[in-house]
C-alpha cells in the first residue's frame, strides 16, 4: 500500500511506460488525467482512419448502386424500344408479303388484271354501256 500512495513510484512507472508523459506530469492526479486524455486521443486517432475508410466505402457503394440503377433503367427503355421496333418490322414484313402476293396475281391472274384495270384506270370492255351515277 505504501507504493500506491508514493507519487515518485507512480511518476517513475509512467515515465517508463510513456516517455511523453514525463514532460507533462505535474502531480500524480494530473498525470492520470493526462494519460487518460492521451489514451482517448489515441483511440480517436485509431478510429479516424477506420471512419474515413467507412465513409469512402459507403460513398463507393452509393455510387455503384446509382450507376447500376441508371443502367438498368436505360436497359429497360432499350428493351421496350426493341419490342416496339420488332412489332413494327413484323407488320412491315406482313405488308410486304401481301404486296408480293398481289403483284404475283397481277402478273398471272387475268381476273385480277381486269379488276385492277377497271378499278384503278377506269377501263371498260367493248360493247359495255357506261351508266354515270347522279351526284
Which of 120, 92, 116 is closest to 103 using CA atoms? 116
How far, in Å, CA of 52 to CA of 50, rounded? Answer: 5
Q: Is the pLDDT of residue 31 over 60?
A: no
Q: For residue 22, name the pLDDT band (cuts at 50, 70, 90).
A: very low
Dihedral pair phi/psi, residue 124, rounded to 5°: -135, 165
Q: Is the pLDDT of residue 69 over 60?
A: yes
Q: For residue 21, name the pLDDT band (cuts at 50, 70, 90).
A: very low
How far, in Å, CA of 7 to CA of 15, rounded? Answer: 12
Question: Could you report the per-residue pLDDT of 70-115, keeping only the tens digit for each?
Answer: 999 999 999 999 999 999 999 999 999 999 999 999 999 999 999 9
70 three-class SS: helix
| Residue with the larger pLDDT of the pair 35 and 25 | 35
pLDDT computed for residue 41 by the predictor = 67
Name the pTM for this structure.
Answer: 0.45
How is the chain split into domains, by residue range?
2-121
Within 7-27, residue ranges assigned H as helices are: 7-17, 19-24
Helix and strand counts by DSSP (H, E) for the chain: 5, 0
Segment 113-124 shows an average pLDDT of: 88
Amino acid at each position: 500500500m505504501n507504493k500506491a500512495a508514493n507519487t515518485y513510484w507512480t511518476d517513475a512507472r509512467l515515465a517508463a511506460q510513456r516517455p511523453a508523459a514525463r514532460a507533462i506530469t505535474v502531480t500524480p492526479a494530473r498525470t492520470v488525467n493526462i494519460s487518460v486524455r492521451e489514451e482517448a486521443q489515441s483511440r480517436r486517432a485509431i478510429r479516424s482512419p477506420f471512419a474515413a475508410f467507412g465513409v469512402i466505402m459507403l460513398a463507393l457503394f452509393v455510387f455503384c448502386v446509382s450507376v447500376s440503377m441508371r443502367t438498368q433503367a436505360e436497359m429497360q427503355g432499350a428493351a421496350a424500344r426493341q419490342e416496339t421496333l420488332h412489332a413494327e418490322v413484323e407488320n412491315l414484313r406482313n405488308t410486304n408479303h401481301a404486296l408480293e402476293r398481289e403483284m404475283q396475281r397481277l402478273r398471272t391472274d387475268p381476273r385480277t388484271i381486269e379488276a385492277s384495270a377497271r378499278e384503278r384506270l377506269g377501263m371498260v370492255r367493248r360493247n359495255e354501256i357506261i351508266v354515270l351515277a347522279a351526284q
